[in-house]
Amino acid sequence: MATPVQWTFIRHGESIANAQRKVSGWWDVALTQTGRQQALSAGRQLANLRVDRVLSSDLMRASETANIAMSARAAILDEYPPPKIIISPLLRERNFGKMEGANIDLLRHDGRIQDLIQWDRCPQDAETMAGFSARVIRVLQQQNDSSATVVFAHGGVLRVILGFLEQTPLNQLGLRKIDNAKPYTVTLTDAHKALLSKPVWLK
C-alpha cells in the first residue's frame, strides 16, 4: 500500500463580488479587507501542516489569498523564502457566461440559481458542469505523487474536488457550502488514486 498523501484545499478570502452578492466566475475581482484578514487566518492554520507544494488559480482573488496565507505561514515558521506558488488556470472557477456579475439573491428569487448548481443545467455561454469538473480533476491527476499539497481556488472548484473524493451524487454537488479561506484537509488513499485513474464519477 502506498503512503497516504495529504492535500489541503482553500477557497479564496471574501472577494468584492462576494461582498456584493454577485456571481463572479471568471470575473477577476480582488479581495476585500475582510478577505485579506481571512487569508492571514488561513496562513496561521497552515503553520500546523507540512507543505511541499502550493497550487493556485490564476484569478486574482485566489492568488492574492495564496500569497497572503503563505507569507503568514512563513513568518510563523521563520521559513524564507516561502514555498513557490504554482499558478494553474485549470483551478479557475467555472465560467458562468452571461450570469457573471448577476445578483445571487435575484437569481435565487426567480429560480435561475438552479442553472448554477444543477449538473445537467448550464447558463447561456457558460462552461458545462461536466467540462468544468473534468478540468478541475485534471489537477489531481497531474500531481498524483507523495507531495503534501495546498490548493488555493474557488467554491466551485472545492465542491468538485471534495465531491469527487467523497463520491457525492452529481445532483447534490452544487449544494455544499464552502466557507471563505477555510482549510479543508483530506488524505488521498490508494482508493482515491484508483478513482483518479478512471474517474467514472464524471460520466
CA dist., res. 11 & res. 181, Å (int) = 5
The model's confidence at residue 1, banded by pLDDT at 50, 70 and 90, is: very low
User: Mind listing the pLDDT tens digit for each residue in 73-93?
Assistant: 999 999 988 899 999 999 999
SS3 assignment, position 59: coil
12 labelled catalytic: yes
93 labelled catalytic: yes
User: Active site residue: 14, 64, 93, 100, which one?
Assistant: 93
Joined grid coordinates for residue 56 = 493556485
Q: What CA–CA distances, in Å, run from 129 to 32, 46, 161, 203?
A: 28, 30, 13, 11
SS (H, E, C) 4-44: CEEEEEEECCCEHHHHCCECCCCCCCCECHHHHHHHHHHHH
Global model pTM greater than 0.85: yes
Rounded to the nearest angstrom, the gap between the alpha carbon of residue 60 and the centroid of all alpha carbons in its chain is: 13
User: Active site residue: 12, 64, 100, 127, which one?
Assistant: 12
**Domain spanning 5-202: which superfamily?**
Phosphoglycerate mutase-like (3.40.50.1240)
User: Mind listing the pLDDT tens digit for each residue in 117-145?
Assistant: 788 778 888 998 888 998 999 998 888 78
Joined grid coordinates for residue 96 = 458562468
